[in-house]
Amino acid sequence: MSVVTLNVAFDAEGFMTNPDEWTKDIAGVLAEEEGIVPLTDRHWVVINYVRNEFAKTGESPTLRSISKKSGVDTKELYALFPKGPAKKVARVAGLGKPKGCI
């Protein structure tokens, strides 16, 4: 197993502190840490939606927003990002922890 060093800053909960430093390679490493491998086209639909919404609003979208507007319903979101999809997709997408997540 290879070790990858990420030259980006993370907060105490493991979320990137600067979303502008995010890359697809970083997403792959974070997804692996979350046990989400490989990232499929459906994962990327959600990740790209979340990053685009963040670019517009400055905040990570809620689970409800993701499921209503990304084209990926709630059931599929939980299959793609098990046990807390809004939080996990935000982390993989290089964003901060969504408001309302514990």
- Which amino acids are annotated catalytic? 101
Check if the beta carbon of residue 92 is closer than 8 Å to that of residue 80: no
